[in-house]
A and B are shown apart, each in its own frame.
Chain A
Amino acid sequence: MSGLRILVGCKRVIDYAVKVRVKPDKTGVVTEGVKHSMNPFDEIAVEEAVRMKEKKLASEIVAVSCGPTQCQETLRTAMAMGADRSIHVEVDAQSYEGMQPIHVAKILSKIAQQEKVDLVFTGKQAIDDDCNQTGQMIAALLDWPQATFASKVEKANGDLTVTREIDGGLETIKVKTPAVLTADLRLNEPRYATLPNIMKAKKKKLEKKKPSDYGVELSPRQQVVSVEDPPVRQAGSKLDSVEELVGKLKDSGLIPS
């Protein structure tokens, strides 16, 4: 049996270490001139796909990203990590603002069909919109099973055995392929792209497409009314001793006295 063909979704987001700033006109957050990188959960998805290929479970890895031109940097990173080729679905800045997981899911499910993949892999959520929807929606559109929040993936015959992170602990499920997986934090430790691999990635194929190539309309389903700063917490006080702390907490009835 030949290996699985894997499609990995990679989103370009504001780097996780950046403290975001809300725009004064409350329409969004400042993204110009801010450091961006690949969504950390997507890095984990790419890493797992590459490991599957190294274990000869996968035969080809296609990375895909939807968004502005700069997404190509994200795809180069994925290819430097080990993806074989990539597809950039270019979206102009204005349409990108109204783009939501449902649009991405529609595009990715079309690509999955066209590329005849066996597995779609995404991160469990993007750290910018914090939606946690895309993988589940791709699975729905393709009528494939889904294994979300995966912390361990094993292949057994035609099935995948996946350990998932759930509220009370862990659970194990089996899904038939083709399937959609979403990566949780504990799945693996993504590798750094080495300089030789970054150089090699420049030669790998990067196809440019548009949402219309997949028949997907980007009409927004939601309107953002405003984006505001969260309420600021009042500065607290530093105490000198444990007695003082326990005393204050007892006085305010927060701990039994």
Chain B
Amino acid sequence: MFSTGRQTCSRTFGLLRRLKSTLVIAEHNNEKLTPVTLNAVTAATKLGGEVSCLVLGSQCAKVAEEVSQIKGVSKVLLADSDVFKGFLPESITPFLLATQNQFNFSHILAPATAIGKNVMPRLAAKLDVSPISDIIGVKDDSTFVRTIYAGNAIQTLTSNEPVKVITVRGTAFEAAETGGSAATENVSADAVTNDLSDFVGQELSKSDRPELASAKTVVAGGRGMKNGDNFKLLYDLADKLKAAVGASRAAVDAGFVPNDMQVGQTGKIVAPELYIAVGISGAIQHLAGMKDSKVIVAINKDPEAPIFQVADYGLVQDLFKAVPEMTELVGK
């Protein structure tokens, strides 16, 4: 009886203490913060509680400095250790668990990027809670909005879980401003070991163009480009527009461009000011990744292509004529 009473008491105490305190896991490459973290902080501030940010990595003090200046962040936790090299979930998860045990957050958020999607469900299972993927809206501290069926339905759900483990769709939230001055606290990761997995290496696509997921303008090519060399037409236009270049699955599967350029349900979700779809028919799976763009332009010689149903401006023309002409006219 005594023990039951104590349990109830500690549970209530736990709930009270947990009342709205949010941890945002910052994403970075040990040198620079990934911009989508700023959008995740905005989502976190909508929950109403205190927002802390965790920077974990190896030699990432510079990133923590950057994070401490984000408006809305009241505390930065910094965990600097070689064990986090490659951001392997097998080392991150036990560390996050220990951090959660120490600070008792009510919400743990990460951007819905390759890293966030990889780590957060593993953490949730360890906490025995059902995670919530890729939210596009926050109604209150337990009610969230997300898309299902490749963006063809919008689901609002309420989570009963004591800890809400969430990934955030960056394009659905504004980026938080800078101008804050949060204090940084070091958290030791000495206890963390990982003998399950090893990071071997990365092969990153190099480009001077803006990052696809956060670019203001995106020029994307599909099967209609016919081959990889023809993508040069899009690169030329993109450079004039200071745009990122994306692709449909058809273009990626045909080997025209690398996978990380894919826009769609299973690629990147983008919502730029301007999206120019060139030689893309507009399959459901592609639309899932770009239909929240402010203005959509479609250039396609097939007037029946479904892309025209979502395009604000459509041009039924041969792209091999239209794109060079456009490149010529821009900035004139």
- Residues of A near any B CB (own CB < 8 A): 14, 16-17, 19-20, 22, 29, 41, 100-102, 105, 124-125, 127-141, 144-149, 151, 161, 164-176, 184-186, 221-230, 233-239, 241-243, 245-246, 248-249, 252, 254-257
Looking at chain A's contact residues, the main secondary structure is mixed
Given A140-B93, A222-B132, A222-B157, 17 more A-B residue pairs with CB atoms under 8 Å apart are: A22-B153, A128-B148, A130-B147, A132-B134, A134-B121, A138-B125, A140-B122, A146-B122, A165-B260, A168-B202, A221-B159, A223-B160, A229-B153, A230-B147, A238-B308, A246-B326, A256-B331
Assess whether B186 is interfacial by the CB under 8 Å rule: no
B121 touches A20 (CB 8 A): no
- Residues of B near any A CB (own CB < 8 A): 86, 88-90, 93, 113-115, 117-126, 128-134, 143, 146-161, 195-205, 213, 217, 240-241, 249, 252-253, 258-260, 265-266, 268, 273-274, 284-285, 291, 295-297, 303, 308-317, 322, 325-326, 329-331
Question: Which residues on A sit within 8 Å (CB–CB) of B266?
Answer: 41, 124-125, 184-185
Question: Which residues on A sit within 8 Å (CB–CB) of B160?
Answer: 221-223
B255 to chain A, nearest CB (A): 10
Query: Which one of B129, B160, B312 has the greatest number of beta carbons of chain A within 10 Å?
Result: B312
Given contacts A102-B124, A186-B259, contact A169 B297 (CB under 8 A): no
In whole angstroms, what is the CA distance A95 to B324 when docked? 56
What are 21 of the A-B contact pairs (CB < 8 Å)?
A102-B129, A128-B149, A130-B147, A132-B117, A134-B121, A136-B117, A136-B119, A137-B124, A139-B89, A146-B90, A164-B114, A166-B260, A172-B200, A185-B249, A223-B157, A226-B155, A227-B148, A230-B151, A239-B313, A242-B322, A254-B295
Which residue of chain B is the closest to A144 with respect to CB atoms?
Answer: B196
In whole angstroms, what is the CA distance A167 to B202 when docked? 11
Question: Which residues on B sit within 8 Å (CB–CB) of A131?
Answer: 133
B213 touches A20 (CB 8 A): no
B317 to chain A, nearest CB (A): 7
Question: Which residues on A sit within 8 Å (CB–CB) of B126?
Answer: 140
Find B197's partner among A19, A29, A125, A173 (CB 8 Å cutoff): A173
Question: Which residues on A sit within 8 Å (CB–CB) of B259?
Answer: 151, 165, 169-170, 184-186
Find B217's partner among A19, A147, A166, A254 (CB 8 Å cutoff): A254
A226 touches B315 (CB 8 A): no
Given contacts A128-B149, A130-B265, contact A254 B274 (CB under 8 A): yes
In whole angstroms, what is the CA distance A208 to B95 when docked? 39
B152 touches A245 (CB 8 A): no
Question: Which residues on B sit within 8 Å (CB–CB) of A130?
Answer: 133-134, 146-150, 265
Question: Which residues on A sit within 8 Å (CB–CB) of B199?
Answer: 171, 173
Find B274's partner among A168, A172, A249 (CB 8 Å cutoff): A249
A19 touches B284 (CB 8 A): yes
Given contacts A227-B154, A237-B313, contact A168 B204 (CB under 8 A): yes
A255 touches B314 (CB 8 A): no
A242 touches B124 (CB 8 A): no
A243 to chain B, nearest CB (A): 7
Given contacts A22-B153, A165-B260, A252-B295, contact A173 B200 (CB under 8 A): yes
In whole angstroms, what is the CA distance A224 to B158 when docked? 6
B196 to chain A, nearest CB (A): 4
Which residue of chain B is the closest to A41 with respect to CB atoms?
Answer: B266
B156 touches A255 (CB 8 A): no
B149 touches A20 (CB 8 A): yes
B201 touches A148 (CB 8 A): no
A230 touches B154 (CB 8 A): yes
B203 touches A171 (CB 8 A): yes
Question: Which residues on B sit within 8 Å (CB–CB) of A170?
Answer: 202-203, 259-260
Which residue of chain B is the closest to A237 with respect to CB atoms?
Answer: B313
Given contacts A145-B196, A171-B203, A176-B196, contact A137 B149 (CB under 8 A): no
B124 touches A236 (CB 8 A): no
Given contacts A136-B122, A137-B125, A173-B88, contact A221 B161 (CB under 8 A): yes
In whole angstroms, what is the CA distance A178 to B83 when docked? 21
A226 touches B313 (CB 8 A): no
